Amino acid sequence: MHLDSAQERMMRGEVGEAKQFAIEIATKVGDAVGADELVPIKSAHVLAHYSSLHDAGVEVLERFADSGGKFAVPTSVDPASIDLQHWRSFGITEDYARQQFRLCDAYAKMGGMRCWTCVQYQVCNFPKEGETVAWAESSAVVFANSVMGCKSNKITAGMDVACAVLGLTPRFGMLLEENRRAGVVFRLGLKGLTDLDYRSIGYFIGRGAGARVPVLSGLPPSVTSDQIKHLGAGAAAAGPVTMIHFPGITPGSKTVIDATGGETVEEIEITRSALGEIEADLNQFSGLPDLVAFGVPHLSVNELGELAGMLEGRKLRKGVRMYAYTSSQAYDMAERTGIAEAIEQSGARLSHSTDAEISPLKALGFRTVLTNSAKLAEIVSSEGEVKVGYATQREIIERVTG
């Protein structure tokens, strides 16, 4: 990989230890994937939650922070493994919280935005169309490439911080126009889509696309950015998908032909029975759960308002917890507008700055989780310790409230 003179100086350690460590990581990864150079980024999004970073990740982030590392571009952060405000009341132990707060401190020391959300694009990180970014969080990468028209690879833990410290990322993969062209068409002819359908459609695409970039035609014009957020999250959970062309939504792709560049590619019909198979696969039980989890990825304040409406006049059944996960910013707005109170009157709780899939669910005593998130269902069942149920938000509320 070609380095310019400023980058050579970083490599020699003349610009500090943190930049040297960062550029070593970035160039080794760049060389591995055939990148020709490091290019500037406009923003970064990094991971700093203990459940997935483990002790190794604490070592890495502290090494960056303690050697003087500072983020060179606006940098946001994924949710923590605990609600940073109310963690005690959620049953988190001191020892667990301590490791999470080590990550929080290291991240803050480096100058990151303390948003603690997986939907930074709805909260605080707003690059423009055409800009190159280096984001972790698989669902956010799909949103950046597919809706915002940004260019991002799915930057994974360790490399995310390196790119943020450098303000640079190796040029390869989704940064190159030729790799962004759609290589498989998914056709949707179904009407009256539920919240669960959007997630299952995403999951189906993620499974079927393999390494190809998919294009999805047939979404209703009324589709919301929240629905696309959940669709993309389902896709990224099921496979290596980093972008989905949505004709009419994705910048540069007004039509399927724009997305494929006119090439003839495989076409796959999304049928009701295919979605039924996804639901059956993700749904492992049908009884009353220990926990209902909404908000993987984080719910927007609009979605919290909808949830409050559905819970009106209902009470959670005994023995069932219901947590709605959101960003700290949406939480604040929900608090100020009465939405939080409306949700909590049912016995449900709002939780911010964390999310279900990165919480220590088993350690908190949950053996069964019910959700409308394909991403959460995939992750929880992958770990194999907690059983997961998968149903629409309406079905779930009817099942667990009186």
CA 340 to CA 326: how far, in whole Å?
Answer: 11
Q: What is the DSSP string of 156-177?
A: PTTHHHHHHHHTEEE--GGGSG
Report the nearest approach of other proteins to the CB of residue 103 (Å).
11
- For 322, the enclosing helix (H) or strand (E) is strand 321-326
Beta strands in 171-314 (DSSP E): 184-188, 214-217, 266-270, 291-299
Examine residue 138 and tell whether it contacts other proteins (CB under 8 A): yes
Return all residues near 347 (Cβ < 8 A) that are at least 6 apart.
315, 316, 322
Interface residue with other proteins among 10, 18, 25, 73 (CB under 8 A) is 25
Residue 329 touching other proteins (CB under 8 A)? no
Size of the site for other proteins (CB under 8 A): 51
Interaction between residue 311 and other proteins (CB under 8 A): no
CA dihedral 290→295→297→301, nearest 10 degrees, is -170
Which CB sits closer to other proteins, 37 or 62?
Answer: 62
Give the one residue of 6, 32, 176, 363 binding other proteins; rule: CB under 8 A.
Answer: 32
**Residue 6 is a binding residue for other proteins (CB under 8 A):** no
To 10 degrees, what angle do helices 17-32 and 50-66 make?
Answer: 130
Q: Site map for other proteins, 347-386, x if CB under 8 A?
A: ----------xx-------------------xxxxxxxx-
Taking CB under 8 A as the criterion, the residue among 189, 220, 240, 276 binding other proteins is 240
Give residues 278-307 in contact with other proteins (rule: CB under 8 A).
281
Q: Tell the residue number behind the tokens 């405000």, with chain if given.
A: 85
Residue nearer to other proteins on the CB measure, 196 or 213: 213
Q: Which residues of 356-365 are buried (b: 16+ CB within 10 A; e: fewer)?
A: bbbbbbeebe
Residue 55 touches other proteins, criterion: CB under 8 A: yes
| Least gap, CB of 379 to other proteins (angstroms) | 5
DSSP string, 23-60: HHHHHHHHHHTT--BEEE-S-EEE---HHHHHHHHHHH
Q: CB of residue 174 vs other proteins: minimum separation in angstroms?
A: 10
Residue 141, interface with other proteins (CB under 8 A)?
yes
Select the span of 149-157, 181-189, 249-257, 293-301 touching other proteins (CB under 8 A): 149-157
Check residue 154 for interaction with other proteins (CB under 8 A): yes
Instruction: Give the list of residues 6+ apart from residue 173 with CB closer than 8 angstroms, or none.
Output: 33, 153, 179, 242
- Asked if 237 touches other proteins (CB under 8 A), the answer is yes
The residue count of the chain comes to 402
E strand or H helix at 259: helix 256-260
Give whichever of 236 and 400 is closer to other proteins, judged by the CB atom. 236
Member of 1, 73, 123, 155 binding other proteins (CB under 8 A):
155
| Contacting residues toward other proteins, per CB under 8 A | 21, 24-25, 28-29, 32-33, 47, 49, 52-57, 59-60, 63, 136-138, 141, 153-160, 173, 206-207, 210-211, 236-240, 281, 357-358, 378-385
